[in-house]
Amino acid sequence: MVYLLTARFIFMQGLIEYHKEIVEYFNYRGVSVVFLFRRNLLRRMVSLLANSHDRYAKLLNGTHKSHVHSQEEAAALSSYKPIINSTSLISDLREVEMDAVKALEYFNSTRHMVVYYEDLITNNTKLNDVQEFLGLPQKELTSRQVKIHKGPLSDFVKNWDDVIKTLNGTQYERFLQADY
| Per-residue model confidence (pLDDT) at position 172 | 97
pLDDT surpassing 60 at residue 124: yes
Q: How many residues are listed for the chain in this entry? A: 180
- The overall pTM is greater than 0.85: no
| Per-residue model confidence (pLDDT) at position 14 | 67
More confident residue, 25 or 72: 25
| Per-residue model confidence (pLDDT) at position 16 | 76
pLDDT surpassing 90 at residue 112: yes
More confident residue, 69 or 17: 17
Question: How many other CB atoms are found less than 10 A from the CB of residue 94?
Answer: 14
**Which of these, 30, 39, 22, lies nearest to 2 by C-alpha position?**
30
Contacts within 8 Å (CB) and 24+ apart, 8-14: 8/48, 10/35, 10/99, 10/103, 11/99
pLDDT mean over 148-153: 83
To the nearest whole number, what is the mean pLDDT of the chain?
84
| Per-residue model confidence (pLDDT) at position 52 | 76
| Per-residue model confidence (pLDDT) at position 9 | 54
pLDDT mean over 32-42: 91
Task: Give the list of residues 6+ apart from residue 103 with CB closer than 8 angstroms, or none.
Answer: 5, 7, 10, 15, 16, 35
**Structural domain count of the chain:** 1
| Per-residue model confidence (pLDDT) at position 144 | 82
pLDDT mean over 56-75: 66
**Full residue range of the structural domain in which residue 43 is found:** 2-176
